[in-house]
Chains A and B, each alone.
Chain A
């Protein structure tokens, strides 16, 4: 029982300590607004460290952007307003999830198209194999000439 409690405690501790770069002094007073800022921060790219979100990153610029995101939320911006504000300055690059538009068609549609092409090729392969596979053999009796040859061969090997 004690062991179980210890396990539960350890699990609980583990869950409660995600990697965080957000400092307490940056947080908004309203928990709902802060939650929105956190949510947004996770999908905005830290433009210096590139593969981290501003929510994850310890870079100074990431901190600046976190503050600015919170400032805008505090001023009454919607999530989309905040996104637009940053895209206007840093381009789509600032969004960790690229938007679906003409220039990103290959990015979004490439994998499913390739998957379909692959599936098509596999299907084609199996269909062709079935078509060209040998039909079940019908027993054809030996011709007299063949029978004579066979007999001769059998005799030669001494059977």
Chain B
């Protein structure tokens, strides 16, 4: 009994060390989304100028097929980094990707797509104060949501999509939902 008592500080120290080491590997920006398994928020977003037949993005558009909703903005630096991946995904044509042009002037959002390429099927404009983005619980751009065919949010990805996390995380989830 005594011996255990003497060992106690060491045990507590080891326990705390393990806990803190785990804390070091965690990304504090990854906040669990409360919207998982909830319906896509009600929205009727206007289209961007000059995107042909696109009528914008509304809740009903996200039903019927598994899709990805990507939050971007022409002001967003990490979105430029993510963009080639989205373009490649469009080419593969696995899953429709829709965009929400967040906190942006729709003209600039459209110009940005002209410049970097347009991977989206539908794009809705959500100018400041970004009510739809707040409804989605968005904390920054880019952020992506996987929506199932019933319009239920199934997964949220914070930060840029890369070929790697697409293959490892997002695509398997989409495949599972498409079954």
A binds B: yes
Seen from chain A, the residues whose Cβ lies within 8 Å of a Cβ on chain B are 47-48, 50, 60-61, 63-65, 67-68, 87-91, 93
B33, A91: Cβ atoms closer than 8 Å: yes
CA distance A61 to B133 in the complex (A): 10
| Contacting residues of chain B (116-138) with chain A, CB-CB under 8 angstroms | 128-131, 133-138
Q: Contacts A47-B139, A90-B137; is A68 near B129 (CB within 8 Å)?
A: yes
Query: With A61-B138, A64-B129, A89-B137 given, can you name 15 additional A-B contacts, CB distance below 8 Å?
Result: A47-B31, A47-B139, A50-B28, A50-B29, A60-B103, A63-B128, A64-B133, A65-B134, A68-B134, A88-B34, A90-B137, A91-B32, A91-B137, A93-B31, A93-B32
Tally of B interface residues using CB under 8 Å: 20
CA distance A98 to B69 in the complex (A): 30
Residues from chain B with a CB closer than 8 A to the CB of A88 are 34
B134, A48: Cβ atoms closer than 8 Å: no
- Residue pairs across A and B with Cβ atoms less than 8 A apart, 8 shown, are A60-B103, A64-B130, A67-B129, A88-B34, A89-B34, A89-B136, A91-B34, A93-B32
* 5 interchain residue pairs of minimum CB distance: A64-B129, A91-B34, A47-B139, A89-B137, A67-B129
B128, A64: Cβ atoms closer than 8 Å: yes
CA distance A50 to B29 in the complex (A): 8
A60, B128: Cβ atoms closer than 8 Å: yes
A68, B137: Cβ atoms closer than 8 Å: no
Q: Contacts A61-B140, A68-B134; is A91 near B129 (CB within 8 Å)?
A: no
Contact among A50, A64, A91, A93 for B134, CB-based, below 8 A: A64
Residues from chain B with a CB closer than 8 A to the CB of A93 are 31-32
Smallest beta-carbon distance B84→chain A, Å: 25
Smallest beta-carbon distance A123→chain B, Å: 15
Nearest A residue to B131 via CB reads A68
CA distance A91 to B137 in the complex (A): 9
Residues from chain B with a CB closer than 8 A to the CB of A68 are 129, 131, 134
Is B111 in contact with chain A by the CB < 8 A criterion?
no
A89, B129: Cβ atoms closer than 8 Å: no
Smallest beta-carbon distance B45→chain A, Å: 16
Nearest B residue to A88 via CB reads B34
Q: Contacts A60-B103, A61-B140, A64-B103; is A89 near B135 (CB within 8 Å)?
A: yes
Nearest A residue to B135 via CB reads A89
CA distance A93 to B135 in the complex (A): 15
A63, B34: Cβ atoms closer than 8 Å: no
CA distance A50 to B134 in the complex (A): 16
Residues from chain B with a CB closer than 8 A to the CB of A65 are 129, 134
Most chain B CB within 10 A, of A47, A87, A88, A89, is at A89
Nearest B residue to A93 via CB reads B31
CA distance A90 to B136 in the complex (A): 8
Is B78 in contact with chain A by the CB < 8 A criterion?
no
CA distance A60 to B126 in the complex (A): 14
Smallest beta-carbon distance A4→chain B, Å: 47
Smallest beta-carbon distance B69→chain A, Å: 15
Residues from chain B with a CB closer than 8 A to the CB of A63 are 128-129
Q: Contacts A64-B103, A64-B134, A68-B134; is A89 near B35 (CB within 8 Å)?
A: yes
